[in-house]
C-alpha cells in the first residue's frame, strides 16, 4: 500500500519498577516487583488495599523550566504522559522544541502525536474542599455551590481532567504541529494509538510521531470502580508483591498500577539516514471488538484474537514468524482464560509454543498505559535477545496455555506481537519486526 | 487506485430534534433550542441555560431499549442516532457484511458523574480538611451503581453500538474535545481507504450539561452568561458574543467503501474526499492567535481531497461564539482561501443547537450533507452586530439557497487539536 515504513527510534517508560527505559528494563530482567500496601491515601476501607505505586515521581523533573508552572494543571495521568514522551524523544535523538530546539530538523508540521488515555479521576481533596464550602445543615447545597462554592477551584480545573491533554501538553512542549489524537479505548488505547500514529507516517501525513498510552487509576474513585467490577485482587494483603499473578494457577484478580509507555516512531529512511538507532519496524497493527463486551461484569477479551489477526495480516506475517507474545494478562481469572483462548484463536497451536510474557505481576495494571509499557518491553527483548520473566507465574492455570515463564529466557526475537483488551470489549495489537 | 469512502446513512439526536429531518427544518427556520437549564438546579451558576435534548425516549428509537437501560445519557442519544443511520444505510437488510470488516469509530465524551451521590459522598466523607477515604469507600460501595460508574469510560458508547450491530472490526473512541467526532470520522474514513474495513459506524456523542461540566466551563469563562436573553445567547461572529452555549446530543454516520455500497444498491448520500488534522502546539488555554494550526488542517484536507479553495461551496464553521475562536477561525479561513474567503459562505449551526462538544463535528457534517441534498445553506442566527474582526459571509440570520456540491467542515478542540473534513455529492 505504501513504501513508507515505520521505525521505532525512541522509548520512554514510567513504571512502578523504574522510570526510564534502561532502569525499567534492568529491573524487569532482575525480577523486580512493585506491588505493595497503598500509601498515597488511606485504603483501609477498600477490599483491595494494595497497588503498584510510583514513588517520588513528578513531571516537574521532565519538563522545560519555563513549563514547570503548567504541571499544576496536570492530573497524574498527564504528568506520566509528559515525562514518558520527554524521555522517549531524548532516547530517539530526534531534536524537538524541548530537547534541542536549535538542532530541530524535522518540520513541526510533520511531527504527530497520539497518546491513549482513560477516564481521569478527580483529586478528591481539591474538589472536596470546594464542595465543603457549599453545605447547608451538613448537606451539599447547589445554590451555594453555583454562587460561590465553585469559585474555590482553579479556573483551569477542567483542563486537568480532559484526556486529550496528555497529547496536547506533549505537542506544546515538543512542538508537534502534525496530526494529534487521543484514543480513549481503555486498556486497548496504547496499541491502537501507536498503530494509528504509524498510519500518519505510511499515509504521508507525518514523518515522525510520539505515540503510546498513560494512566493512573490509583485514586479512591478508580479503586471503587474497579473493585465493583470484581476485577481487583482482595486477598493480597499478606504478600502484596506476589498478589498479581497473570495466567498462574493462583491468579485472583488484578492490582492497580500507574505508568505508561510512549514510543517515537519515524519514517524508516530518514531515521536510518540520520543514523538513529532503530529498535524495530512497527510493521502492522489491528483493532477489533467483541459485541459481548457490553456485559461488563462478564470476563471478555475483546476479540483480541481478531485484533492480532488483523495486525499480523497488516504486517504480512504468519504464526510461524512470531517469536514473542506480549500478553495483556490482567490476572483476573476469567479474563486470563478468555485472553489465552484468543491467542490460540489467532495463532493456532503456535500460541502454546511461542515464548510469551505478561508484565502485570511486576507493575500491576496500567490500563491505557499497560500495553505502552508492554511494547517497550517487546522492543528491548528484541534488542537484547531475551524474554523477560513473568513475575509471579509459577504453574499455569488450567485454561491458560501460553508459554510463559517466571525466569528470564534467551531467544532470538525477529518478530514480536503485543496486544491488549479492555472492559467494554475492544482490543488493539501491534506487530514489531527486527530490522536487519 | 485509492478506495473511496461514501456515507450511506445518518442519524442525530440533538437539542433541535430527535431525527435528521426535524433538526434540518428547525435549522432552516433559524430556531433556537436554548432554554433554562432543566437538568439540574443551575439557578445560581454564572450560566443558567443550555441547549438540552428534551423528551427523548430511547424506546421509541430502538427495539431493545431495556438492554441499554444502564447506558449513559449521551450513549442513549448515540443509540437512537445509530439506529436511524443504520436503517437508512440499508445494512439491516444486507446479510453479506463480514462482521470483522465492520468497525466502530466514535468521538464520544465521558459519561456523566453520578452527581448526587458523588457530592453527598464528598460532603459526608470529609474530615480535617481532607477526604476521609475510608469513609468515602464505605459510602461508595453503598451508594454507587457499578454500571453507572463503568459507563463513564468513554469507550462504552463504542461497546453499546458494537453490541447493537454485531461489529467485530476495529473499534475505537477518541476524545479530542470539540474536534473529537470530526477526527473520528476522518480516521474512520482512513480505515476504509486503507482497507482495514468495508464499513464503519462513526460519529460522536456527548453531554456535559451536568453540575461539573457547566462548572468547569464556567470557571474557564468559556460560556455565555447572557441569562436574560438566553434564547439568542449563542452569537457566533457577532460583536456582542460572550461565549458558547453548552449543548448535548449524538450524531452517527455510516461510512462505507464506495464499491461495497454501489454493489448492494445503497443510496449514496455523500462522499468523504478530504481529511486534515493538525495541532496548534501553542497553549492549553488559548488557540494560536494567527490560526496557523487551523489553517494547516484546512490545507491538508484540501490537498487530500485534491480540490482547491475555489471548489468549496460552503464551510461549516467551528464558530463557537467565544471571543477568541471566531476571530482566529476567520483569520485562518482568510489565510487558506485568500481573496475567495469573503465569497465562500460559512455558517455556525451552534448558534441554534449550541455546542455539542465531542458530538459537534458529526452533527455539523450531517448539515453539510443536507445542504448538498437540498441546495440550501443553514444560517448563523443572532448575528446582528458585525465584528470588524469577523468580516466574512456567515449567512446571517436566514437560510440561503445556493449551489452546493462540495463542503468543508472544521472543528478545533480545546488544547489545540484541529480537524477538517471535505465532502462532495455522492455519485
How many residues does this entry show for chain B? 427
The whole-angstrom separation of Cα A269 and Cα A6 is 9
CB contact under 8 A, B277 and A180: yes
* Cβ neighbours for A137, distance < 8 A, ≥ 6 positions apart: none
Note the pLDDT of residue A13. 98
Residues A304-314 have a mean pLDDT of 98
| Cα–Cα separations (whole angstroms), residue A150 to A120, A158, B10 | 20, 12, 39
Q: Which among A142, A177, A293 has CB closest to B281?
A: A177
ipTM surpassing 0.90, yes or no? yes
Asked if B144 reaches chain A (Cβ–Cβ under 8 Å), the answer is yes
Tell me the chain A residues in contact with residue B158 when contact means C-beta distances shorter than 8 Å.
Answer: 185, 289, 424, 426
Contacts of B21 (CB under 8 A, 6+ apart): none
Residue A278, in any domain of the structure:
yes
How far, CA to CA in Å, does A14 sit from each of A20, A81, A209, A216, A259? Answer: 6, 8, 19, 11, 5
- Cell numbers that stand for A382 in this block: 528484541
Q: In terms of domains, do A43 and A137 share one?
A: no
At B272, which helix (H) or strand (E)?
strand B270-279
User: What stretch of H or E contains A341?
Assistant: helix A333-347
Residue A147 domain flag? yes
User: What stretches of A268-391 adopt beta strand conformation (E)?
Assistant: 280-289, 324-326, 356-357, 386-387
Task: Determine, for residues B281 and A181 on separate chains, whether the beta-carbon distance falls below 8 Å.
Answer: no
Residues in B closer than 8 angstroms to A142, CB to CB, are 40-42, 44, 211
Q: What three-state secondary structure class fits A28?
A: helix
Phi, psi for residue A316 in degrees, rounded to 5: 70, 35
Least CB–CB distance from A45: residue in B138, B183, B196:
B138
Task: With beta carbons less than 8 A apart as the criterion, state whether A189 and A183 touch.
Answer: yes
Cβ-nearest to A182 among B174, B293, B300: B174
Instruction: For residue A39, count CB atoms less than 10 angstroms from its CB and return exposed for 0-12, middle for 13-18, buried for 19 or more.
Output: exposed
B-chain CB neighbours of A224 within 8 Å are 137, 140-141, 144, 149
The residues pairing with A9 across neighbouring beta strands, listed in sequence order, are none
Say whether both A141 and A235 belong to one domain: no
Domain count, chain A: 2
Give the DSSP per-residue string, B8-70: EEEEEEBTTBSSHHHHHHHHHTT---EEE--SS--TTSS--EEE---S--GGGT-TTGGGGTT
Q: How many CA atoms, within 13 angstroms, populate the side-chain half-sphere of residue B308?
A: 4
Is residue A255 in some structural domain? Answer: yes
pLDDT at residue A2 greater than cutoff 80:
no
> pLDDT tens string for chain B (427 positions)?
899 999 999 999 999 999 999 999 999 999 999 999 999 999 999 999 999 999 999 999 999 999 999 999 999 999 999 999 999 999 999 999 999 999 999 999 999 999 999 999 999 999 999 999 999 999 999 999 999 999 999 999 999 999 999 999 999 999 999 999 999 999 999 999 999 999 999 999 999 999 999 999 999 999 999 999 999 999 999 999 999 999 999 999 999 999 999 999 999 999 999 999 999 999 999 999 999 999 999 999 999 999 999 999 999 999 999 999 999 999 999 999 999 999 999 999 999 999 999 999 999 999 999 999 999 999 999 999 999 999 999 999 999 999 999 999 999 999 999 999 999 998 7
Q: What is the pLDDT of residues A88-131, one digit of tens each?
A: 999 999 999 999 999 999 999 999 999 999 999 999 999 999 99
Burial class of B406 by CB neighbour count within 10 A (0 to 12, 13 to 18, 19+): buried
Are both A52 and A173 inside the same structural domain?
yes
Compare all CA atoms of chain B with the CA of A118 and give the residue at the minimum distance.
Answer: B153
- Tell me if B151 sits within 8 A of B71, measured CB to CB: yes
User: Which chain A residues have a beta carbon less than 8 Å from that of B125?
Assistant: 128
C-beta atoms of A131 and B42 within 8 A: no
Which of A165, A225, A293 is the closest to B149 by Cβ?
Answer: A225
pLDDT of A1 reads 54
Min distance A411 CA to chain B CA atoms (Å)? 32
Taking contacts as CB-CB distances below 8 angstroms, the residues of chain A near B101 are none
Q: How many CB atoms lie within 10 A of CB B217?
A: 21
Q: Do residues A224 and A124 make contact, with C-beta atoms less than 8 angstroms apart?
A: no
Q: Which of B173, B188, B243, B286 to mutate to test the interface with A (most CBs of A within 10 A)?
A: B173
Q: Which three cell numbers stand for residue B113?
A: 458523574
Dist CA B281 CA B292 (whole Å): 10
Q: How far is B247 from chain A (nearest CA, A)?
A: 17
pLDDT recorded at residue B121: 97
DSSP reduced 3-state for B269: coil
The C-alpha cell that represents B94 in the structure block? 444486507
Q: A171 and A43 in one domain?
A: yes
Interface contact B126-A132, CB threshold 8 A? yes
- Give CA B295 to chain center in angstroms: 20
pLDDT by residue (tens digit) across B139-159? 999 999 999 999 999 999 999
Q: How many CB atoms lie within 10 A of CB B259?
A: 12
Structure pTM? 0.98
Q: Which three cell numbers stand for residue A281?
A: 519496524
For chain B, the first-to-last Cα distance in angstroms comes to: 17
The predicted structure's pLDDT at residue B34: 98
CA distance linking residue A315 with residue A283, whole number of Å:
5
Whether A179 and A149 map to the same domain: the answer is no
Task: Report the interhelical angle of B360-374 vs B180-193 (nearest 10°).
Answer: 70
What is the C-alpha to C-alpha distance for residues B148 and B144, in angstroms, rounded to an integer? Answer: 8
B2 touches chain A (CB under 8 A): no
- φ, ψ of residue A111 to 5 degrees: the values are -115, 115
In a domain, A1, yes or no: no
Chain B residues closer than 8 Å to A108 by CB: 281
Query: What is the structure's pLDDT at A423?
Result: 97
Cell of residue B154, nine digits: 468513554
Residues B277, A179: C-beta atoms closer than 8 Å:
yes
| Cβ atoms of residues B58 and B68 within 8 Å | yes
Asked if residue A209 lies in contact with residue A197, where contact means CB atoms within 8 angstroms, the answer is yes
Chain A residue with the nearest C-alpha to that of B208: A158
- Nearest C-alpha in A relative to B294: A177
CB A166 within 8 A of CB A81: yes
**Cross-chain residue pair B194–A177, CB shorter than 8 Å:** no
Of A125, A172, A287, the CB nearest to B131: A125
Chain B residue nearest residue A175, CA to CA: B281
Confidence (pLDDT) at B427: 78
Closest-CA residue of chain B to A429? B170
DSSP label at A31?
T
User: Cβ–Cβ contacts within 10 Å for residue B415, how many?
Assistant: 28
On the CB side of B371, CA atoms within 13 Å amount to 33
| pLDDT score at B1 | 83
* Residue A35 falls inside a structural domain: yes
Rounded distance between C-alpha atoms, residue A156 and residue A141, angstroms: 23
Mean pLDDT for chain A overall:
97
**One domain for residues A130 and A116:** no
Residue A316 located in a structural domain: yes
Q: Which of A43, A131, A221 sits opposite B123 (nearest CB)?
A: A131
Q: Do A147 and A77 fall within a single domain?
A: no
In angstroms, the CA B157 to CA A69 distance is: 35
Give A286's contacts (C-beta < 8 A, 6+ positions apart): A195, A306, A307, A308, A309, A310, A311, A312, A313, A314, A428, A429, B170, B196
Whether B306 and chain A come into contact, CB under 8 Å, resolves to no
Residues of A in contact with B282 (CB under 8 A): 172
Q: Tell the burial category of B21 from Cβ atoms under 10 Å away from its Cβ (0-12, 13-18, 19+).
A: exposed
Q: Can you give the residue ranges of every domain in chain B?
A: 5-113+152-424, 115-142
Whether pLDDT at A22 is above 60: yes
Whole-number Å distance between alpha carbons of B404 and B424: 9
Going by the DSSP 8-state scheme, the letter that residue A391 receives in this structure is: T
Q: How many CB atoms lie within 10 A of CB A135?
A: 17
Q: At B75, phi and psi to the nearest 5?
A: -70, -35
- Condensed to tens digits (0 to 9), the pLDDT of residues A354-376 reads 999 999 999 999 999 999 999 99
Q: Which of B43, B163, B413 sits opposite A146 (nearest CB)?
A: B43
CB B147 within 8 A of CB B70: yes
The single-letter DSSP state of residue B129 is: T
A202 plus A317 within the same structural domain: yes
The arrangement of secondary structure in B5-113+152-424, i.e. its CATH architecture, is: 3-Layer(aba) Sandwich (3.40)
C-beta atoms surrounding B363 within 10 Å: 30
A144 and A186 inside one domain: no
Q: Do A135 and A55 share a domain, yes or no?
A: no
CB contact under 8 A, B175 and A182: yes
Mutate to test the interface with A, among B155, B160, B178, B191 (most CBs of A within 10 A): B155
What DSSP state is assigned to residue B111?
P
H or E segment to which residue A410 belongs: strand A409-410
CA distance A75 to A159: 9
**Contact flag A165-B415 (C-beta cutoff 8 Å):** yes
Catalytic residues of B, which ones?
178, 318, 355
Burial track A379-404 (b if 16+ CB lie within 10 A, e otherwise): bbbbbeebbbbbbbbeebbeebbbbb
Split at pLDDT 50, 70, 90, the class of A382 is: very high
Chain B interface test: which of A67, A167, A184 (most B C-beta within 10 Å): A184
- The beta-strand segments (E) located in A221-326 are 258-267, 280-289, 324-326
Three cell numbers written together for B262:
454501489
- Residue to mutate among B190, B279, B283, with most A CBs inside 10 A, is B279
Gyration radius of chain B's alpha carbons: 21
Q: Which of B252, B250, B259 is nearest to B192 (CA)?
A: B259
Does B65 contact A at CB distance below 8 Å?
A: no
Does residue B291 belong to the interface with chain A, where contact is any CB pair within 8 Å?
no
Does A176 sit within 8 Å of B279, measured CB to CB?
Answer: yes
Range of the domain at A149: 124-158
Alpha helices in B223-319, H assignment, sequence order: 258-263, 292-305
Of A145, A225, A288, the CB nearest to B171: A288
User: Which residues of chain A does B293 touch, with a Cβ-Cβ cutoff of 8 Å?
Assistant: 177
B169 close contact with A: CB closer than 8 A: yes
CATH number at residue A396: 3.40.47.10
- B417 vs A167: CB contact, 8 Å cut-off? yes
Q: Is the pLDDT of residue A151 over 60?
A: yes
Give B 235-274 residues with CB within 8 A of chain A: none
Amino acid at each position: 500500500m505504501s513504501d513508507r515504513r515505520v521505525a521505532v527510534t525512541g522509548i520512554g517508560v514510567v513504571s512502578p519498577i523504574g522510570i526510564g527505559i534502561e532502569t525499567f528494563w534492568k529491573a524487569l530482567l532482575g525480577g523486580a516487583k512493585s506491588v505493595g500496601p497503598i500509601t498515597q491515601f488511606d485504603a483501609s476501607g477498600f477490599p483491595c488495599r494494595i497497588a503498584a505505586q510510583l514513588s517520588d515521581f513528578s513531571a516537574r523533573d521532565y519538563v522545560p523550566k519555563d513549563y514547570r508552572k503548567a504541571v499544576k494543571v496536570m492530573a497524574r495521568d498527564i504528568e506520566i504522559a509528559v515525562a514518558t514522551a520527554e524521555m522517549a524523544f531524548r532516547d530517539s535523538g530526534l531534536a524537538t522544541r524541548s530537547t534541542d530546539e536549535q538542532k530541530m530538523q524535522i518540520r513541526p508540521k510533520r511531527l504527530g502525536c497520539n497518546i491513549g488515555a482513560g477516564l481521569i479521576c478527580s483529586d478528591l481533596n481539591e474538589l472536596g474542599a470546594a464542595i465543603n464550602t457549599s453545605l447547608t445543615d451538613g448537606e451539599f447545597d447547589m445554590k451555594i455551590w453555583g454562587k460561590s462554592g465553585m469559585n474555590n477551584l482553579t479556573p483551569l480545573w477542567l483542563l486537568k481532567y480532559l484526556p486529550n491533554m496528555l497529547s496536547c501538553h506533549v505537542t506544546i512542549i515538543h512542538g508537534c504541529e502534525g496530526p494529534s489524537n487521543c484514543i480513549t479505548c481503555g486498556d486497548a488505547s496504547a496499541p491502537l494509538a501507536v498503530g494509528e500514529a504509524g498510519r500518519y507516517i505510511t499515509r504521508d501525513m507525518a514523518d515522525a510521531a510520539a505515540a503510546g498510552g498513560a494512566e493512573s487509576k490509583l485514586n479512591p474513585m478508580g479503586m471503587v470502580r474497579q473493585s465493583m467490577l470484581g476485577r481487583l485482587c482482595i486477598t493480597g494483603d499478606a504478600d502484596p508483591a506476589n498478589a498479581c499473578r497473570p495466567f498462574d494457577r493462583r491468579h485472583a484478580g488484578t492490582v492497580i498500577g500507574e505508568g505508561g509507555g510512549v514510543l517515537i516512531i519515524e519514517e524508516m529512511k530518514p531515521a536510518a539516514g540520520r543514523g538513529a538507532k532503530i529498535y524495530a519496524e512497527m510493521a502492522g497493527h489491528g483493532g477489533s471488538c467483541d459485541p459481548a463486551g457490553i456485559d461488563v461484569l462478564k470476563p471478555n477479551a475483546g476479540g483480541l484474537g481478531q485484533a492480532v489477526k488483523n495486525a499480523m495480516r497488516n504486517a504480512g506475517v504468519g504464526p510461524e514468524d512470531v517469536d514473542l507474545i506480549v500478553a495483556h494478562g490482567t490476572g483476573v481469572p476469567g479474563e486470563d482464560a478468555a485472553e489465552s483462548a484468543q491467542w490460540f484463536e489467532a495463532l493456532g497451536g503456535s500460541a502454546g509454543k511461542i515464548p510469551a510474557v505478561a508484565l502485570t505481576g511486576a507493575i500491576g495494571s496500567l490500563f491505557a498505559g499497560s500495553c505502552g509499557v508492554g511494547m517497550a518491553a517487546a522492543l528491548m527483548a528484541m534488542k537484547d535477545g531475551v524474554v523477560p520473566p513473568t513475575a509471579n507465574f509459577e504453574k499455569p492455570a488450567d485454561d491458560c496455555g501460553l508459554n510463559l515463564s517466571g525466569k528470564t529466557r534467551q531467544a532470538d526475537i525477529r518478530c514480536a506481537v503485543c496486544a491488549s483488551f479492555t472492559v467494554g470489549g475492544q482490543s488493539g495489537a501491534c506487530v514489531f519486526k527486527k530490522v536487519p | 487506485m485509492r478506495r473511496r469512502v461514501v456515507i450511506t446513512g445518518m442519524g442525530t439526536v440533538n437539542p433541535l430534534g430527535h431525527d435528521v429531518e426535524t433538526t434540518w427544518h428547525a435549522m432552516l427556520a433559524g430556531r433556537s433550542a436554548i432554554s433554562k437549564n432543566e437538568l439540574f438546579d443551575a439557578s445560581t451558576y454564572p450560566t443558567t441555560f443550555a441547549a438540552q435534548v428534551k423528551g427523548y425516549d430511547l424506546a421509541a428509537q430502538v427495539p431493545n431499549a431495556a438492554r441499554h437501560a444502564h447506558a449513559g445519557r449521551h450513549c442513549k442519544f448515540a443509540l437512537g442516532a445509530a439506529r436511524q443511520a443504520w436503517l437508512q444505510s440499508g445494512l439491516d437488510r444486507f446479510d453479506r457484511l463480514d462482521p470483522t470488516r465492520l468497525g466502530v469509530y466514535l468521538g464520544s465524551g465521558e459519561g456523566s458523574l453520578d452527581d448526587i451521590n458523588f457530592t453527598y459522598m464528598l460532603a459526608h466523607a470529609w474530615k480535617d480538611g481532607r477526604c476521609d477515604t475510608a469513609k468515602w469507600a464505605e459510602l461508595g460501595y453503598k451508594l454507587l451503581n457499578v454500571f453507572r460508574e463503568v459507563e463513564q469510560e468513554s469507550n462504552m458508547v463504542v461497546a453499546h453500538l458494537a453490541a447493537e450491530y454485531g461489529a467485530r472490526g476495529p473499534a475505537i473512541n477518541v476524545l479530542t474535545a470539540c474536534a473529537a467526532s470530526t477526527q473520528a470520522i476522518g480516521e474512520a474514513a482512513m480505515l476504509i481507504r486503507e482497507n482495514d474495513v468495508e464499513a464503519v459506524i462513526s460519529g460522536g456523542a456527548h453531554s456535559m450539561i451536568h453540575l461539573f461540566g457547566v462548572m468547569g466551563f464556567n470557571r474557564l469563562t468559556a460560556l455565555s452568561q447572557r441569562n436574560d436573553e438566553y434564547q439568542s445567547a449563542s452569537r457566533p461572529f457577532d460583536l456582542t458574543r460572550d461565549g458558547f452555549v453548552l449543548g448535548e446530543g449524538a450524531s452517527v454516520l455510516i461510512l462505507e467503501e464506495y464499491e461495497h455500497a454501489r454493489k448492494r444498491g445503497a443510496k449514496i448520500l455523500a462522499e468523504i474526499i478530504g481529511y486534515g488534522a493538525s495541532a496548534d502546539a501553542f497553549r492549553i488555554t488559548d488557540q494560536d492567535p494567527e490560526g496557523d494550526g487551523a489553517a494547516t488542517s484546512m490545507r491538508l484536507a484540501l490537498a487530500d481531497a485534491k480540490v482547491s479553495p475555489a471548489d468549496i461551496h460552503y464551510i461549516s464553521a467551528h464558530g463557537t461564539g467565544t471571543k477568541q475562536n471566531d476571530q482566529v477561525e476567520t483569520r485562518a479561513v482568510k489565510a487558506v482561501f485568500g481573496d475567495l474567503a469573503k465569497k465562500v459562505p460559512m455558517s455556525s449551526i451552534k448558534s441554534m443547537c449550541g455546542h455539542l462538544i465531542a458530538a459537534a463535528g458529526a452533527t455539523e457534517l450531517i448539515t453539510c450533507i443536507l445542504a448538498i441534498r437540498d441546495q440550501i445553506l443553514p444560517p448563523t442566527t443572532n448575528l446582528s452586530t458585525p465584528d470588524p474582526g469577523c468580516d466574512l459571509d456567515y449567512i446571517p440570520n436566514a437560510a440561503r439557497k445556493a449551489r452546493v456540491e462540495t463542503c468543508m467542515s472544521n472543528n478545533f478542540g480545546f488544547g489545540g487539536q484541529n480537524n477538517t473534513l471535505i465532502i462532495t455529492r455522492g455519485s
